[in-house]
Amino acid sequence: MKNIVILISGRGSNMQAIVNADIPNAKIAAVIANVPNAAGLAWAKEKGIATAVLNHKEFKNRAEFDMNLAMLIDGYKPDLVVLAGFMRILSPQFCQHYQGRLMNIHPSLLPSFKGLHTHEEAIKSGCKLAGCTVHFVTPELDSGAIISQAAVPVLNDDTADTLAARVLQCEHKIYPQAVADFVSGSLKLVDHHAVNVSRSDKNAFLLGQG
Ligand code: GRF
């Protein structure tokens, strides 16, 4: 059984998708939020999952918050730490501590559109495809090895909100799958690239497929 700790800051729809996927040999050991009233916490509690809050505002700097966060996480003996809408930049020390066992989902087709406002940027740039990326986390923002991606069309009348909603549907598919692949041991890091040894398609998904 692999222990998974999920970090959230808000509604936690990706966390819910991962919990609801009922991944074999995976135990959701805890859901931790840095925002005391993060909506996802109540949902997790109701599901009987251990929850905790560590409010970053109560720490004097990033290093101190990250150190305490790592101590809290490590109390659950995680095999994998999953960032699911966790809206904090993590220090290099934190990222290194969880190297190879810290995942994030980003709402763009990386390496395009790192950081915030990804959907606005995709529309502004005239992209015809947008999407989401699951990746391992490294100290450089949104730059770790790509685990899986899903693409959706950008429609002529899309707003950032309509595009975000279309991409979110994909997030809810590929994130639980990536966690399941990690748990089953089929994800390997080869020359800094994440390779899924049980799939030949490099973990790419297009809307309307599979
Ligand atoms: C998602 O769009 C995710 O890609 C981004 O933050 C959002 C979190 O949404 N990192 P939710 O809290 O999982 O609903």
Could you give the CA distance from residue 14 to residue 77 in angstroms, rounded to a whole number? Answer: 22
Q: Which atom belonging to ligand 1 lies closest to the Cα atom of 15?
A: 13
Q: Are 1-98 and 104-210 in the same CATH fold?
A: yes
- Write the class of the CATH domain 104-210: alpha beta
The answer to whether residues 172 and 207 touch, using CB atoms and an 8 Å cutoff, is: no
- At 153, list the tokens: 């069309």
Q: Mean pLDDT across the chain, nearest whole number?
A: 95
> Which residue has tokens 């004097």?
60
Residue in the structure block whose two tokens are 């089929």: 186
Q: Where are the domains of the chain?
A: 1-98, 104-210
Phi, psi of 107 (to 5 degrees): -85, 55
pLDDT range class, residue 22, cuts 50, 70, 90: very high
- CA-closest residue to ligand 1 atom 1: 85
Q: Which fold has domain 1-98?
A: Rossmann fold (3.40.50)
Residue 106 annotated among the catalytic residues of the structure: yes
Largest CA distance in the chain: 48
Output the pLDDT for position 209: 43
Which band of pLDDT confidence, cut at 50, 70 and 90, is reported for residue 198? Answer: confident
pLDDT tens per residue across span 87-144: 999 999 999 999 999 999 999 999 999 999 999 999 999 999 999 999 999 999 999 9
**Which residue of 171, 175, 179 sits with most ligand 1 atoms within 8 Å of its CB, as the best mutation to test the pocket?**
171
Q: State the pLDDT at residue 6.
A: 99
Confidence of residue 200 (pLDDT cuts 50, 70, 90): low
Alpha carbons 204 and 129: distance in angstroms, whole number: 13
Please name the residue whose Cα sits nearest to atom 8 of ligand 1. 85
